[in-house]
Amino acid sequence: MFDAGCGWRLYRRGRGLLRWPETLRKLTFGREFNEPIQGILWPPSLEEVRFGASFNQPIQDIVWPVCLQRLTIGHYFDQPVDIDWPETLRQLTFGHCFDQRVDAVKWPSSLQELVFGAFFNQPIDGVLWPLSLRHLALTGFFKHAIGNGAGWPSSLRRLTIGQNFIQPIATVSWPPLMEELTLGTFFNQPIDAVVWPVSLQCLSFGSSFNQPLDNVSWPALLQRLCFGRAFNQPIDGTSWPSSLQQLTFGQEFNQSITGVVWPHSLQRLKFGDRFDQRIDDVTWPDSLQEVCFGGYSTSESRECCGHPRWND
């Protein structure tokens, strides 16, 4: 890795003199770097470029490294991106301030992961997503509808929708092969009419979600289900999917679990700090390996669809 935070001034003074190492794979520009990058002769071996927080320069007419796979653009970047992206790019991450329209962008056909930052709030209806895309993150302020016009790529496996999203999802046509869905902090819409993708394995609701579950039709392959802080609905009439292995309730949940028919595959069960109900007459599933009562926050979606730490 080469950090160009300081070395850039040498490059600017003697542009034709700098010789990149032939083995260079990763190049990081430091936090204060904010210089034009047109005309840079990138080393052909370069696979990853990272621009720091202050970078906010146009990126049109850039001749990118021929092997570039990962590109991260820092917090203050907010420039148009309808450019010629490198055809080898697999991972693209924008920082907090990026909020440009993307409906005319031609994404590289190799792109697998696309992450938008906190301020991104542009409509996505009509966006031509690459057919290679596997993970899309619409984080932070994004709050546009994601109905049938979203046109998800069939390749999408993981969808993360940020904290300000409050739109109904009953009419959404989900990607047919999606495995993970994270709904952010303020989402609190009914889900009893939602047709989930049959391939969904992990479903995570944010801090505000508090809707009834009695008539919900869960996806048949669901393995991990997480509810956030506010959820406090009765579950004695809930029909859980038989595939469910991990079930997490948030801090406010305090409902009776007597008579609950747990899924026979359930291995991990987590209750929040305020749970205070009788458990002496609960019929636990034979598959259960771990039960936790309190002491662990479930507000972050990565604790459900990522790698949970149960007894830290």
Reduced to 3 states, what is the DSSP secondary structure of residue 293?
A: strand
pLDDT score at 20: 83
Answer whether residue 214 shows pLDDT above 90.
yes
Kindly list the distances between the CA atom of residue 149 and the CA atoms of 2, 145, 184, 192, in Å, as whole numbers in the listed order.
Answer: 42, 9, 21, 22
User: Which of helix, strand or coil describes residue 303?
Assistant: helix
Q: Give domain status of residue 154, yes or no.
A: no
Whether residue 247 contacts residue 225, with contact meaning beta carbons closer than 8 Å, is answered with: yes
Q: Which of 3-12, 201-210, 217-226 has the lowest mean pLDDT?
A: 3-12
| Structural domains of the chain, count | 1
In a domain, 39, yes or no: no
> Would you mind telling me the total number of residues written for the chain in this entry?
312
Note whether 223 and 245 are within 8 A (CB): yes
**What is the DSSP code (8-state) at residue 192?**
T
Q: Dihedrals φ, ψ of 226, to 5°?
A: -130, 130
Q: Is residue 107's pLDDT more than 50?
A: yes
Q: Is the pTM of this model over 0.85?
A: yes
In a domain, 274, yes or no: yes
Check pLDDT > 80 for residue 8: no
Percentage of residues of the chain with pLDDT beyond 70: 89
Q: Is residue 169 situated within a structural domain? A: no
Q: Say if 56 falls within a structural domain.
A: no
Cα separation values, 66 from 147, 183, 255, Å: 37, 36, 57
What band does 305 get if pLDDT is binned at 50, 70 and 90?
Answer: confident
Per DSSP bridges, beta strands 26-28 and 2-3 are parallel
Domain that holds residue 262: 184-307
Question: Would residue 293 count as lying in a domain?
Answer: yes
Q: What is the pLDDT of residues 134-159, one digit of tens each?
A: 999 999 899 999 977 678 999 999 99
**271 falls within a domain:** yes
* Section 81-98 average pLDDT: 98
Is the pLDDT confidence value at 301 over 90?
no
The pLDDT value given to residue 11: 45
Cα separation, 138 vs 160, in Å, equals 6
Task: Find the helix or strand (DSSP H, E) in which 302 lies.
Answer: helix 302-305
Give a yes or no: residue 84 inside a domain. Answer: no
Instruction: Give 53-81 pLDDT, tens digit per residue.
Output: 999 999 999 999 999 999 999 999 999 99
On the question of pLDDT at 302 being above 80, the answer is no
52 pLDDT more than 80: yes
| The pLDDT of residue 2 is above 70 | no
> Which region among 127-131, 222-226, 254-258, 304-308 has the lowest average model confidence (pLDDT)?
304-308
Q: What is the model's pLDDT at position 147?
A: 78
pLDDT at residue 303, as a whole number: 60
What pLDDT score does 306 carry? 62
**15 pLDDT more than 60:** no
Give me the pLDDT at residue 307, please: 45
**pLDDT, tens only, 162-212:** 899 999 999 999 999 999 999 999 999 999 999 999 999 999 999 999 999
Average pLDDT, the chain: 90
**Predicted confidence band of residue 309 (pLDDT cuts 50, 70, 90):** very low
